[in-house]
Chains A and B, each alone.
Chain A
Amino acid sequence: MDDTIEITLTVNGETVTRRTSPRQHLVDFLRGELGLTGSHVGCEHGVCGACTIRLDGRAVRGCLTLAVQADGARVETIEGLTESSEISDLQRLFVERNAAQCGYCTPGMLLTAAELVAAGQAMPRAAIRDFMSGNYCRCTGYQAIIDAIEHVLEARFGAPAKEEG
C-alpha cells in the first residue's frame, strides 16, 4: 500500500517533485530526501529553533511543518541563503565574532536573524535579544550572536533610535 503523496515545491530556487509520507516533517524531508543537511533537528517539538527554515518568505519551524504543507510553496534553507549571498554580512560577522561554537544552532539562528535583517530597520540590543529568544544555543551564551546581528543591523540601517533598550 502506497500512502505517499506527490508534492512539488521550490527549494532554494529549484523546483523539486517528490513523493512523501503525509506524516514526514519538512525538515526531515529537506535533510533526508534532498540532502540539505544544513537545517538541523534539536528537539522535534518546536522549541529549540535549530530547524528554522523559510517558507514563502517567513521563518518557520521545519519540525512543526509537514512536507505536504509545503506543496506549491517556496522553501529556502541556509544553503539557499548562502548561495544568494543574502546574508553574507551576517555570516561574515558570525565568523569574526565567533558567534558559532559547535555550530549546531547556527543555521537556525541565521534564518531567524535573516528575518530581523529583512525587516529593514535598526533595533536596540534588548529587542534583538527578545527577537532571538526562540532559538536555543547551548555553547555561546548568546552575546557573540547578538553582537554580530547588532553590528549587521547598524551597518545596514544605522544606529537604532534611543528610547527602548
Chain B
Amino acid sequence: MSGKAGASSSNSTNPTNPIGQAIPRASVRRLVTGRGRYTDDMTFARMVHAVFVRSPFAHARILSIDTGEAARAPGVVRVVTGAEVAEVCKPFQVRHAGFPALKVTPQHVLAVDKASWQGEAVAAVVAESRAEAEDAAELVMIEWGELPAVADADAALAPDAPLVHQELGTNEALALTVDGGDVDGAFADADVVVEEEFRFARHTGVTLEPRCIIADYDPSTHALAVHQSHQAPHEMADVYARHLGFPGHNVRVVAPDVGGAFGLKLQPYADEIATCALSMLLGRPVKYTADRLESFVTDIHARGHHVKARMAVSADGDILGLEVDDVYGIGAYSQFPRTSVFEGVHVLRMSGVAYKHTNYRARVRVAYQNKALSGHYRGVGMPIANTVTERLVDMATTELGLDPVAFRRRNYVPSEAYPHTAPTGFSFEYMSLGECLDKLEELVDIPALRAERDSLRADGVYRGIGIATFTETTAISPEYYGKAEIRVAAQESCVVRLEPSGHVRCLIGMTDQGQGTATGIAQVVAATLGVPVDDVEVISGDSAATPYGAGAFASRGAAIGGEVALQASRALKENILAVAAAILQEEPAALDLSDGRIVAAAGGTARMELAEIADIGHFRQNILPPDVQPQFTVARHHVPRALPHLSGNGIQLSYLEVDPGLGAVKLLRHAVVHDCGTVINPLLVHEQIRGGAVQGIGSALYEESVYNNEGQMLNASLADYLVPMAAEIPDIEIADVITPTRSSELGAKGVGEAGVTGASPAILNAINDAIGPLGGRLAEIPATPERILRALGVV
C-alpha cells in the first residue's frame, strides 16, 4: 500500500471550510496589548518568594550548612536545607522498563550530601520579597569539600575517570546498539567509504520567559494549587501528587500564558518540586522565578554528542551501509520521568532512515558528567541523526563527483516501498522524500544558485549551498512511554459543549505555548460541527478543568489534539442534529449543520439557527418530545494506536557566504519544504517552521553551553551565550508537501520540530561547500568563526 494518497477531504478548497485557512490567532490580541498573563505576573495574598542557594562547584561534598545568619536577615520567613525538604518530598527515581540496564541513582530536590553539578540547589531561602531572599541567600554559609569533577563525556567514560555517582561504579548510564543487515560486507564491497568525526556542542532552550512557579498549599483541605509556566500541567499534577503525598484530585496545576517552552518546560525540575514543598512547610503561596543566570545552569540542556560515523557507497552512487558511534553526555542525572536517553535513541534509530540501504550498525553510549542535566529539547536527537547522515551523503557525492540532488533521489526509500521499516528498527508510514525534493527545486533555482556561487568564487567570494533531507517521528503512541512504564500519556482528551447561546466551548488536555494549537483545534471543531471559527473557544492548561492530556511535546498538538477534537465535535454534531430532528420532525440524516445553522442535508436550505436549538435544549425542553434528552456536552479520548509514531519529513536548503579571513558566516537564503500532512492553518504552520528553523540555525552557528574541564559553565549569561537575533537571520522560504496520515481522520502529522530538525545539516553542508575549495572541512557545530578558521588551517 502506498500511503501517498491519504485522506483528501481535509485541505478542501471550499472557502467556508475553516481547515486549511490562514486564520490569525485571537489570543494574539491579548499579547500585543500587554494583556498576556504569565505566571510571574500573578500575585496571591500572603505570597512569599523563594530563592535557591546553588552549588558553585561541579562536584563537591556538603560538609556543613549554617543558615543562622540568613534566617535572621530582613524579610526572611524560612531557610531550609536538603535534609529538611527531604522529609516532605521523595527524591526522583528514574526508571524505564524498556531499558532495565539504565543505571540511575535517586536525585533529591535539594542536594543532601553532595552537589553533582554547578547550579544544583542545596538550600532555599523564603522571604517577603525576591530581593530580600536573594540578599539572605548570600548569607547561607556552606562548607564545601571539593571532589574531582568530570565534564567531558568521553573523559567520563575513560576507565580511570572520577565517578559522578560513586554508588553506580561507572559513568556509563546506558549503552544501546543496533546491528542490522551485513554491515561488514557492505563496507568490504564499498568503492568509497566516507568517514567523519562530529562534535555537536551542548546548548540549551533559552526560553525568553524563565521558568516560574507559584505553589499554594492549603493545609485545611490538604490541597495544592500550582500556577506554572509549563507544557504539561496534567503530568505535573501527577508528579506533585506522587512525590509530595497528595491524593491525585487534591492537586491542581494551571499553566497560564507560557513564554516559550520547546521541551524545556516539559518535565519537573527539582527546584519546582522544592517550591511546592516550601509552600507545604509554610502553608503560604510561594513563588519561584528563575533568573537568567540560573536558567543557564539549571534549565535542561540538549545535544552534546561526539559521533564517529562512516558510510559505504558504490561507485554508481548507491549507499550500501552506515555505521554510527555516538557518545552522549547527559549531565549529572537522567531527566525525570522520561529519562534523558531518547535523544540517544533518536540518534540510534533515525540515522539514515531516508535512504533505502539495509545495512546499519550503531552504538550510543550515554555518559553521566558533572554538568547540568541534558535531555528533551525541540527535536530530541533528530537533528544529530540528520546532520550525521546528510553530511556523509554530501561527503560521498563530493568524493564521487556526483550531483548531491540526484544522489539523494537515487537513494531515497521509494514511494512504493511503504510502509517501510528502516534497518534502524523504526518504521515509517510514508515519507514524501522525492516530492519534497521536487518541491525544493521549484522553490529554489539550484542550478542558478550554483552558477552564482561558482562565478563569485572566481572573485574570491566563498559561498556554499547545502541541502539536507530530514526525517522525524511525531505524535508518539503508547508504544513509547506506555511500554516504558513511564507515566506520560499518549492520549488526548476533549470536552466539547454547546453553550446556551449557541456558541461552543472546547476543553482540551493539549496545551499551547504560542504554537497556535488552540486556534488549529478551534478550526477543527468549527469545521466538524459546521459553525464559524469565531464561535468556538478553546480552553486548555488547567489540570482540574480540562480532561487529561499529555500537553505539548513531540509535535503532537494538531495530530492528536486535533483528532480528538474532531471526534468529539462529530459526536456533538450528531447530538445536536438529533434534537433538531425532533423539533423539525425530520430524520437526523436529512439535516446538517453549516455556518451555525441547521440546514437541509440536501440542498442546504436553512431550517433553524443553532442558537435556537441551544436555547431550547437548555431552557425550553418542554417543547421537545418527552423522550428527547439533549446531550450538549460530549467527551472523547483519542489514543493513537495504528502506528507507533507518525512520520514527518522535509528538506532544507542553506545558501551562505563564509569570510575565509574572519571565519564569519553570513546566511543569505534558507528554504524549507515540509510535509506535516493536513495543514489546518498555513499561517501558523509556516511560522512554526520559521521559528524552528531559526532555532536550528542558532544551534548550527551560535549556541553553545561552554564548560571548562572543572565543569564550570563559562558563558552563563545572555551577553555571552549567543542566540540568533533579527539582523543575522534571512527570510525563511517555505513550501508544503501535503501527505495526510491515514492513521487518523484529520490526517495532520505535526510541525513543531520540523524546522529545528533539518536546519543544522543544511548549514553544515553549505559551510563545507563554501570552504571545500580552500581545503577546509568542518564537522563541528556551532560553526563559530574560530572553528571555521581552524578548519581552514588559518589558526
Contact B32 A100 (CB under 8 A): yes
Rounded to whole angstroms, the CA-CA distance of A110 and B36 in the bound complex is 14
Contact A37 B37 (CB under 8 A): yes
Say yes or no: is A40 at the interface (Cβ < 8 Å to chain B): yes
Contact B691 A104 (CB under 8 A): no
Contact A37 B34 (CB under 8 A): yes
Rounded to whole angstroms, the CA-CA distance of A86 and B291 in the bound complex is 32
Contact B33 A78 (CB under 8 A): yes
**With A42-B208, A103-B28: A139-B691 Cβ-Cβ less than 8 Å:** yes
**With A95-B24, A129-B726, A138-B207: A104-B260 Cβ-Cβ less than 8 Å:** yes
Shortest beta-carbon distance, B257 to chain A, in Å?
7
Q: What are the interface flags for A110-141 relative to B under an 8 Å C-beta threshold, 1 for contact and 0 otherwise?
A: 10000000000000001001101111111111
Say yes or no: is A102 at the interface (Cβ < 8 Å to chain B): yes
Shortest beta-carbon distance, B297 to chain A, in Å?
14
Shortest beta-carbon distance, A159 to chain B, in Å?
18
Say yes or no: is A145 at the interface (Cβ < 8 Å to chain B): yes
Rounded to whole angstroms, the CA-CA distance of A105 and B34 in the bound complex is 10
Contacts of B262 in A (CB 8 A): 138
**With A42-B210, A98-B684: A31-B41 Cβ-Cβ less than 8 Å:** yes
Contact B727 A103 (CB under 8 A): no
Say yes or no: is B714 at the interface (Cβ < 8 Å to chain A): no
Contacts of A130 in B (CB 8 A): 726-727
Contact A94 B260 (CB under 8 A): no
Binds A, one of B105-113, B277-285, B511-519, B644-652: B511-519
Contact B727 A82 (CB under 8 A): no
Say yes or no: is A44 at the interface (Cβ < 8 Å to chain B): yes
Contacts of A105 in B (CB 8 A): 208
Count the A-B residue pairs with Cβ separation under 8 angstroms: how many?
174
Contact A23 B690 (CB under 8 A): no
Contact B34 A79 (CB under 8 A): yes
Shortest beta-carbon distance, B727 to chain A, in Å?
4
Contact B718 A136 (CB under 8 A): yes
**With A91-B33, A101-B515: A133-B208 Cβ-Cβ less than 8 Å:** no
Rounded to whole angstroms, the CA-CA distance of A82 and B32 in the bound complex is 9
Contacts of A39 in B (CB 8 A): 34
Contacts of A91 in B (CB 8 A): 29, 32-33
Q: Nearest B residue to A133 by beta-carbon distance?
A: B727
Contact B131 A136 (CB under 8 A): no
**Chain B: interface residue total (CB-CB under 8 A):** 56
Rounded to whole angstroms, the CA-CA distance of A97 and B686 in the bound complex is 11
Q: What are the interface flags for B657-686 relative to A under an 8 Å C-beta threshold, 1 for contact and 0 otherwise?
A: 000000000000000000000000001100
Tell me the residues in window 1-45 of chain B with beta carbons closer than 8 Å to chain A beta carbons.
24-25, 27-38, 40-41
Partner of B28, one of A38, A100, A143: A100
Rounded to whole angstroms, the CA-CA distance of A37 and B514 in the bound complex is 18
Contact A138 B723 (CB under 8 A): yes
Contacts of B515 in A (CB 8 A): 101
Contact B514 A133 (CB under 8 A): no
Tell me the residues in window 137-155 of chain A with beta carbons closer than 8 Å to chain B beta carbons.
137-146
Contact A102 B28 (CB under 8 A): no
Partner of B516, one of A94, A101, A126: A101
**With A38-B36, A98-B684: A142-B726 Cβ-Cβ less than 8 Å:** yes
Contact A103 B31 (CB under 8 A): yes
Rounded to whole angstroms, the CA-CA distance of A95 and B32 in the bound complex is 8
**With A23-B131, A95-B29: A143-B731 Cβ-Cβ less than 8 Å:** yes
Contacts of A129 in B (CB 8 A): 726-727, 729
Shortest beta-carbon distance, A121 to chain B, in Å?
19
Contacts of B602 in A (CB 8 A): none
**With A102-B259, A144-B690: A48-B208 Cβ-Cβ less than 8 Å:** yes
Shortest beta-carbon distance, A87 to chain B, in Å?
9
Contact A82 B34 (CB under 8 A): yes
Shortest beta-carbon distance, B22 to chain A, in Å?
9
Say yes or no: is B636 at the interface (Cβ < 8 Å to chain A): no
Say yes or no: is B173 at the interface (Cβ < 8 Å to chain A): no
Partner of A106, one of B32, B131, B292, B723: B32
Shortest beta-carbon distance, B103 to chain A, in Å?
34
Say yes or no: is A34 at the interface (Cβ < 8 Å to chain B): no
**With A103-B36, A138-B723: A45-B717 Cβ-Cβ less than 8 Å:** yes
Q: What are the interface flags for B347-388 relative to A under an 8 Å C-beta threshold, 1 for contact and 0 otherwise?
A: 000000000000000000000000000000000000000000
Shortest beta-carbon distance, A108 to chain B, in Å?
9
Rounded to whole angstroms, the CA-CA distance of A135 and B514 in the bound complex is 18
Partner of A143, one of B35, B209, B513, B690: B690
Which among B205, B291, B683, B691 has the highest number of chain A CB atoms within 10 Å?
B691
Rounded to whole angstroms, the CA-CA distance of A130 and B728 in the bound complex is 9
Contacts of B514 in A (CB 8 A): 100-103, 139
Contact B683 A98 (CB under 8 A): yes
Tell me the residues in window 253-283 of chain B with beta carbons closer than 8 Å to chain A beta carbons.
257-262
Rounded to whole angstroms, the CA-CA distance of A137 and B687 in the bound complex is 13
Q: Nearest B residue to A105 by beta-carbon distance?
A: B208
Q: What are the interface flags for A27-38 relative to B under an 8 Å C-beta threshold, 1 for contact and 0 otherwise?
A: 000010000111
Contacts of B34 in A (CB 8 A): 36-39, 77-79, 82, 107
Q: What are the interface flags for A12-25 relative to B under an 8 Å C-beta threshold, 1 for contact and 0 otherwise?
A: 00000000010110
Contacts of A142 in B (CB 8 A): 694, 725-726, 729
Q: Nearest A residue to B292 by beta-carbon distance?
A: A43
Contacts of A134 in B (CB 8 A): 725
Rounded to whole angstroms, the CA-CA distance of A126 and B730 in the bound complex is 9
Rounded to whole angstroms, the CA-CA distance of A78 and B41 in the bound complex is 15
Q: Nearest A residue to B22 by beta-carbon distance?
A: A98
Say yes or no: is B695 at the interface (Cβ < 8 Å to chain A): yes
Say yes or no: is A41 at the interface (Cβ < 8 Å to chain B): yes
Shortest beta-carbon distance, B760 to chain A, in Å?
15
Contacts of B723 in A (CB 8 A): 136, 138
Contact B37 A94 (CB under 8 A): no
Rounded to whole angstroms, the CA-CA distance of A94 and B683 in the bound complex is 12
Contacts of A94 in B (CB 8 A): 28, 32
Contact B725 A140 (CB under 8 A): no
Rounded to whole angstroms, the CA-CA distance of A152 and B766 in the bound complex is 35
Say yes or no: is B206 at the interface (Cβ < 8 Å to chain A): yes
Contacts of A99 in B (CB 8 A): 28
Contacts of B732 in A (CB 8 A): 141, 143
Say yes or no: is A47 at the interface (Cβ < 8 Å to chain B): yes
Rounded to whole angstroms, the CA-CA distance of A23 and B130 in the bound complex is 13
Contacts of B755 in A (CB 8 A): 141
Which among A79, A132, A138 has the highest number of chain B CB atoms within 10 Å?
A138
Contacts of A82 in B (CB 8 A): 33-34
Contact B719 A47 (CB under 8 A): yes
Contacts of A141 in B (CB 8 A): 687, 690-695, 729, 732, 755
Which among A39, A42, A132 has the highest number of chain B CB atoms within 10 Å?
A42
**With A47-B719, A98-B684, A129-B727: A106-B31 Cβ-Cβ less than 8 Å:** yes
Contacts of A38 in B (CB 8 A): 33-36
Top 10 A-B pairs, shortest CB-CB distance: A38-B34, A103-B31, A104-B259, A101-B514, A141-B694, A102-B514, A78-B34, A37-B41, A133-B727, A141-B690
Known: A37-B37, A103-B31, A106-B32. 8 other contacts (CB 8 A): A46-B719, A82-B34, A103-B30, A103-B259, A137-B726, A141-B687, A141-B691, A141-B692
28 A-B interface contacts by CB (under 8 A) = A23-B131, A36-B34, A38-B35, A40-B209, A42-B209, A43-B717, A47-B717, A91-B29, A91-B33, A99-B28, A100-B31, A102-B257, A102-B259, A103-B32, A103-B259, A104-B36, A104-B207, A104-B208, A133-B725, A133-B726, A138-B262, A139-B260, A139-B691, A140-B694, A141-B690, A141-B755, A142-B726, A142-B729
